[in-house]
Structure formats: C-alpha cells, structure tokens
Amino acid sequence: MNNQLRTPLFRHLCLAGALAFTALNGSTVFAADEVKFQLDWLPGGDKAPVYVGIRKGFFKEVDIDVNVASGRGSNDSISKLATGNADLGLSDLVALLMAKAQNDVPVSAIYSVFSKAPHAFFVPADSDINSVKDVAGKRIVTSPYTSSNVFLPLLLEVNDVDPNSIKLVKADAGALNPMLLSGNTDVVISWITDTVIYQQQAKSAGKTLRVLPWYDAGLEFYSTSIIASDRFIDKHPGVTKRFVAAYKKAIEYTWAHPEESGQIVHDMVPEVDASTATDTINSIKSLVYNAVSDQDGYGAFTKERLATTWQWTAKAQNIPVGSFDPESAVNRQFQP
C-alpha cells in the first residue's frame, strides 16, 4: 500500500468522512414523523394538552413533530381527516357516530378525552332553578348550532319535564349570556367549557351563575375524543401509538400543572389569555377525571358506555338503534 495512504492526515479525512456519513444517515433514519392535528374548535384551555405536549417536548421524545390547526366544529374536524387534510384530531364522539352511521367516513375514535358530556344549563345563582326538573315553565335560550339542542328533548323526558311548558328561543352564541344577565331569559344552554367566560361576564355585571351539568341529570355518554383517519392509522400505526402515549402524558401534565399549562397555551397562541386558559383547565377537570375514568381507565371506550352513547344519539336523531354498530367507529389498539 502507498505510504501516503497511511499518513495521519489521510486517516483524519477518512474518519471525518465516516462520521459525516453516519450523521447524515442517522438524521435520515431518525427524522421526526410529522402529524397534522386538527382541533374541533378554536384554541383555548380545553385544548391545552396538545400545546403542552409540544412545548414540554412529549411529542419530540417519541420523534413526532405536531402541527396544530384550528377548527370550526366536530363535523369540520371529521371532514378534514376524512379528506386527508389532517391526520389526527379532536371531535365529539356523538358527531363521529352520526358521520359513520350516515356516510361511513374513514375516520375512527382512538382515545376518550372527555368521558362525560359538557352540555349544561346556566342560571343566575339567585335563581329558583336548582336542577333540571326546575326548568319547567321557564324561558330557555340556546344557540341554533349547538349539538346540545339534539339532546334537550331527551333530557326533559328523562327528568319528567313537559317540553310544551318551556319557551325555547334560539339566538346568536354571543348573545346568550348577555340575555341571561339582563333578565331576558331564565336559562342558557351552553357547554361547561364556557364556564370561565360566562362567570367573568357575570362578575362584570355584579352577578354570579350556577352551572347545572346534564350528566348529573341522566345524560351519560362519551364526548370529546381523539380521532384519526383510517388512512393514517393503516399507514402509520406506530406513529399513531406513539402520539397517543405522548398525548396521555400531556393530559396528565396539564391537570397536574394548570397554571403552567394555561401559560403555555398563551405563549403558543397569544390571543388566548393565560389566566382564562388556566381557569378553563380547572373548570373542566370533571369531564376528564371522574367516576367513569376511575372505573374504566382513562382514555377507554367500554362496550357498554359506547352502546349507551349510541342509544342516546340514535334516539335523539330518530334513527333505529340497530341500524348501526357503534363498535365500528372506534379503534382500541392504541389505548395505553
């Protein structure tokens, strides 16, 4: 062999080249997987886990790069996943069951986030309305677009309230609480996730509100869930599993550190107030951690509760319960 090939300079160049090749090859092999995550509404405290997962590095730890997109409702989120414009996201499970029953969209629920539904009545704290049964004969205002309207007749039926005894008015979502605070209605239908905003508005008017969750009055079913496109699941089952594990870790961190998590949401989405996000995180803890999650395990879809969720949905929509199998809407292989 030529002695020039044995010189220290030659050996140094060879070693440098080998290291460069290794580094390049390693970056190619271990490049983070990209996930397009679709929210079912605008960013806020109730969406904190995905932002916490990004900022605290939980997704990075499992080699996932998450890009978050705002949404305009569960149907919008489902549509984005079904058409390939997003990979995973959030949706009300009821909306997914309806979409699967009507159009068999290629989307599946893979993890339960809210094991209880957020529908609620809001009334002034000094009102004589202390339970759902007390809304008989009262004026109720609701948004024309909320899914709560679908379940209101069933809620009244379960609680023996004559639907003809109430006066139901539909108004713009932004007008609901002002109508309540001004005395133009007795009850507002909204979601528990709106509690902080509503209470802040009430405080400005020198008032306080009482919240009556529908899950305390017999309306028991799953709500917000992580959903995934079937295309993405089939192509990237490993990525899907790692995402769910990281999201679970982010959920645990969010409710263990609500103030920090609220600040993280603000830092990543400046238009969201940090203290409001924190208050929202605290106010919806009962939707995340409750008797259902304690009994069945967080994130689970049990066959019994899933069947009940579909029964409520089918009855509310006047659909034969036996016309659709809710089991076809969930994929349990990614639940920790």
pLDDT of residue 73: 86
Select from 205, 211, 196 the least CA-distant residue to 275.
196
| Token couple for 173 | 């979502």
Classify the C-alpha dihedral 275-86-54-62 as positive or negative.
positive
**Given a cut of 80, is residue 113 above it in pLDDT?**
yes
More confident residue, 16 or 33: 33
| Token couple for 298 | 């967080």
Local structure of 152: helix, strand or coil: helix
Question: Residue 224: what are its φ and ψ, rounded to 5°?
Answer: -55, 135
pLDDT of residue 183: 97
> How far is Cα of residue 231 from the mean position of the Cα atoms in its chain?
21
**Given a cut of 70, is residue 23 above it in pLDDT?**
no
Measured CA to CA, the distance from residue 71 to residue 89 in angstroms comes to 10
Domains of the chain, first to last? 33-116+221-334 (3.40.190.10), 119-217 (3.40.190.10)
Measured CA to CA, the distance from residue 52 to residue 246 in angstroms comes to 10
- Long-range pairs for 6-10: beta carbons < 8 A, 24 or more residues apart: none
Looking from the CA of 87 toward its CB, the CA atoms found within 13 Å total 21
pLDDT of residue 217: 95
Q: What are the Cα distances from residue 112, in Å, to 92, 121, 194, 224, 335?
A: 10, 24, 20, 7, 9
Question: Residue 212: what are its φ and ψ, rounded to 5°?
Answer: -115, 95
pLDDT of residue 31: 79
Please give the average per-residue pLDDT across 108-123, as a whole number.
Answer: 97
Q: What are the Cα distances from residue 54, in Å, to 61, 71, 87, 123?
A: 10, 18, 16, 37
Question: Residue 110: what are its φ and ψ, rounded to 5°?
Answer: -120, -10
pLDDT of residue 150: 87
Q: Is residue 296 within 8 Å of residue 305, measured between CB atoms?
A: yes
